[in-house]
Structures are given as C-alpha cells and as structure tokens.
Amino acid sequence: MDNPPHRVTVRSMFPPRSFSAFGLLRFHLFLLATRADRVYNTHTNARTSITNENMVGRKVGKDTVKNKGNVFQRWGTSWKEWHLNHHPKNAFTKVAFRQYLAECLGTALFVYVSTGSVVALGAEGGLPSPAFNVAIALTFGFAIAAMVYATALVSGGHLNPAVTLTLVLTSNKNAFKGIFYIIAQIIGGILGSAFLRASAPEAQWKNALLGATTLQNGTTPGQGVFIEAILTFILVFTVFGTVKLDMTPHTMGQLAALAIGLAVLVCHMMGASLTGPSINPARSFGPAVVGGHWENQWVYWVGPLIGGVLAGLVYQFLLSPDLHEPTPGNEERKEREIGKEEERETLAKDLLRKMEEGEISSDPHQAD
C-alpha cells in the first residue's frame, strides 16, 4: 500500500542516509508544522462546529469572507452571490427546522407571559395606572431578554418579524429562511395568545382584550405609526449595535440579550399610554386572532416594519465602521486574532519540547 502523502514528502526531503545537524533541524521543523496544524485545527473545528451548523450556507460572498471592501461592497457581493447566502435549499435543512421551532416556541412563551401580565393586572382594575404600566414594561423587557437568551444559540433569538425582515434586507439572514422565521413567529404569537385565553377566565381576558395593542388617549392612527416606527427603530438599532452579524465584526456577547430587553423595557415605559406599544407585529397579531380585536391592527405592522428597516439601514451603512478603522470593536477583534496566533505559537513550542524530550515520537511513520 502506498504511504500517505505527508510520509512521502518527509522521505523525499530527508533520505535516511543524509541526516545531518542541519537536516535534522529541518526535519523537526517540518514535523512540528504538520503536527501543530493538525492539533490546532482539531481544537478550532471543535470550537466552531456548532457555529458552522447554525450558519449553513452563510458565507456572505468571497469578498466578505476575506474582509475585503467597505460595507456597501460586502453587502452588494453578498446579494450577488445569492447561491451562497440566500439559496432556498438552506431553508429546508434539519438545522433550519430546529431554528423555526425555536422561533415559534420563544415567541409563544414571550407573548404568553407579556400579554398575560396585561390580563392579570387588568383583572385588578389597575389599567392604565402608571404603576401597573411600569410593572407591564418590566415584564415585557425581562421576558424578551429571557427568551432571546434561551433561543440565541439555536436560531439567533429574533422573535420579531421586524427584526427578521431587517436582517434579511441587510443580507444578515438567508432570505428564504427569513420568510419561515416570520411565519414561525406569527404562529408562535397565536399559540401564546391561545395558551393565555385557555389559562384565564373569560371575563378577565375580555376585560383586557387578551392583551391586544390599542391606540389610547386620543392617539391617531398616523401618530400611532410614527410612534411605533420610532420605538421599533430603538429596538432594532440596539440589536445591530450589540449582536454579532455577518456584516459587522463587533458584538457585546452575552450582554446583547440584556441590552435588547432594556430597549424593550424603555420603549414600553414611553409608549404604554399611547399605542400599547407593540414594536413586534407577532405580539399584536396573536391577541388579535385569538381575541378578535382587529381595530387599527395595520398600525402595528406598518410602524414596526418601517422603523426596523430604517434602523438596520442607518446602522449598517452609516454607522458600522469598516474593518480597518481604529474603533473599539475592531481593536477587540484584532486582539482576539493576536491571541489566536500566540496560542498557535505556544502550541508549536510545546510540541517541539515534547519531541525533544521524547514524549512524542519524531519518527515520521508515527506522525499520526
């Protein structure tokens, strides 16, 4: 049987009868490089296997992978190479269906708990009391933070059609998967409202309209759209500023979900006595379907979708720094890259020491 390619290379470079001090050094360096690459790549693949599985087909174009061009060029390349970034087959994988389930379940639980607080406090006759509005805002904020944490490693924790649509248009999400994400979120909103209706007495949920969003205190539909657009702008702006996306190199890591929850909290504090608020079409659609309250429903779709898309475009194309700019996010990324290089060098030195001490055989036939 033929020898493996790396063994043939070793023999051709170092014939058995030509070992000298210099040749032995070259031999050690060659063996060191091959074994270090093997060990390092094994650890790297183990650390990134989950990420690669969740990002099936997400290569965002050759230029993006190589960090070439500004954000406009990378965005254009990502849509030009649609077969890598927006291919329909990526929407029908095992990983994709797991992501749809996570979006559906996460949205259902969020709607159940958040609108459930409206129904529960409405039974106490506290709506629209300022104190109860604060309690509802806290519930919405912490509920979305908890669900984002719970689903982020599976689906990214969108849980909001306005977020998903914006990520698709900015080429941070496969377009076909984005469609199914939105469908899953809408179904989740309906399920959450259905669970709530089954949990509460009829008189109680009817009194609070099953937590449906409504225009209050003389707010007109036009004003409602404007308010929803601005509040959703704040939410999606926060998402783009804290979450690691394909088009941006920075991230807040584990604090991202908390920041998103705080954005939802403050938006509810401001809009509670004006529009509800919604800032999430799935959250408004669920109670409307199950509770039968459709008044001004279009406001809670048009406003959030416009505001979310504007926020994503502004952040990605006007505020997001190029990869070479000396920003805190880029500096942190460079430090991580330097740390990986230092880790690689340390591993190589350790392997060389072990070979010199005889802990690892320097025989090329035992390199495996």
Query: In whole angstroms, what is the distance from residue 99 CA to residue 266 CA?
Result: 28
Q: Yes or no: say if 228 and 300 are a contact pair by the CB < 8 Å rule.
A: yes
Nearest to 185 by CA among 167, 152, 162, 169: 162
| The pLDDT of residue 54 | 40
Only one residue has tokens 């394909």, namely 246
According to DSSP, the residues that pair with 245 across neighbouring strands are: 248
Only one residue has tokens 């689906």, namely 155
Burial class of residue 304 in the structure, from the number of CB atoms within 10 Å of its CB (0-12 exposed, 13-18 middle, 19+ buried): buried
**pLDDT over 70 for what percent of the chain?**
67
Q: Is the pLDDT of residue 216 over 80?
A: yes
Angle between helices 161-169 and 221-242 (to 10 degrees): 60
349 or 196, which is more confident? 196
| The pLDDT of residue 176 | 93
pLDDT in tens, 81-130: 666 678 888 899 999 999 999 999 999 999 999 999 999 987 655 566 78
CB atoms within 10 A of CB 329: 17
Q: Is the pLDDT of residue 203 over 70?
A: yes
Q: Is the pLDDT of residue 9 over 50?
A: no
DSSP 55: T
Nearest to 283 by CA among 212, 198, 228, 234: 212
**pLDDT over 90 for what percent of the chain?**
49
349 or 226, which is more confident? 226
Specify the pTM. 0.72
Q: Which own/partner contact pairs does 144-150 have at CB distance under 8 Å and 24+ positions apart? A: 144/110, 144/114, 144/260, 144/261, 144/264, 145/257, 145/258, 145/260, 145/261, 145/262, 145/264, 146/261, 147/106, 147/107, 147/109, 147/110, 148/106, 148/256, 148/257, 148/260, 148/261, 149/257, 150/106
Q: Which own/partner contact pairs does 339-342 have at CB distance under 8 Å and 24+ positions apart? A: none
User: Mean pLDDT, the chain, as a whole number?
Assistant: 79
Amino acid identity for residue 125 in this structure = G
| The pLDDT of residue 12 | 44
Query: In whole angstroms, what is the distance from residue 61 CA to residue 55 CA?
Result: 14
DSSP 292: -
Q: Is the pLDDT of residue 31 over 80?
A: no
Both tokens assigned to 48? 């990134």
Local confidence band at 196 (pLDDT 50, 70, 90 cut-offs) = very high
Q: Is the pLDDT of residue 312 over 50?
A: yes
Only one residue has tokens 């030195």, namely 349
Query: In whole angstroms, what is the distance from residue 137 CA to residue 276 CA?
Result: 10
| The pLDDT of residue 74 | 73
Query: In whole angstroms, what is the distance from residue 229 CA to residue 173 CA?
Result: 22
Asked if the peptide bond before residue 128 counts as cis, ω within 30 degrees of 0, the response is: yes
Nearest to 247 by CA among 99, 59, 86: 59
Q: Yes or no: say if 212 and 114 are a contact pair by the CB < 8 Å rule.
A: no
Least confident of 131-135, 224-228, 230-234, 317-321: 317-321
pLDDT in tens, 146-189: 999 999 999 999 999 999 999 999 988 899 999 999 999 999 99
| The pLDDT of residue 362 | 53
Provide Rg for the chain, Cα atoms: 27
Q: Phi, psi at residue 245, to the nearest 5°?
A: -115, 165
| The pLDDT of residue 14 | 45
